[in-house]
Amino acid sequence: MRVGTDMELRQYHKMRAGVQSNAMPGSAQALRDVQENLARTLASAGLFGDVEVGYTDDVNHLVIAMCTFPEELTETEVATRLELLWQDRIRYGFWEAHATLVESGQVEFEGATRSSSSGHYVTLHILAQKTFVPAQRTAVD
């Protein structure tokens, strides 16, 4: 299963490149602020475990996160929730673009946002993977 087409990803990458050519990436403090907000948002959502968030020098993925989600949730439900969290609690209010790739066992979310018409931008990449609980082994006499 794969939701999120190559065309959608290309369109997102084109939009991200456009903002990157017209603005500077966020400062180390701006990236720390987004990193802390993302970590807090994912941890408090009640859906994600093993949340790890950091920031890098890669302008395409300035803030990165990895987390897990329970096997009872579908990948589509997780993708929808990540989009809502992005819209409501993570992105800047001025401008944003994002794309989601849903595959069996994982969801990838990429986002770019700009703080103002003359402000900086931040890009992020979240990888959420399904947690599989191992089956209990039965006792052997």
Q: Where are the domains of the chain?
A: 2-131
Rounded percentage of the chain residues whose pLDDT exceeds 90: 87
pLDDT for 134 equals 65
Task: For domain 2-131, give the fold.
Answer: Beta Polymerase; domain 2 (3.30.460)
pTM score? 0.89
> Does residue 137 carry a pLDDT above 70?
no
Q: Is the pLDDT of residue 99 over 60?
A: yes
Contacts 24+ apart (CB under 8 A), 100-104: 100/3, 100/4, 101/2, 101/3, 101/4, 101/9, 102/1, 102/2, 102/3, 102/4, 102/75, 102/76, 103/1, 103/2, 103/75, 104/1, 104/75
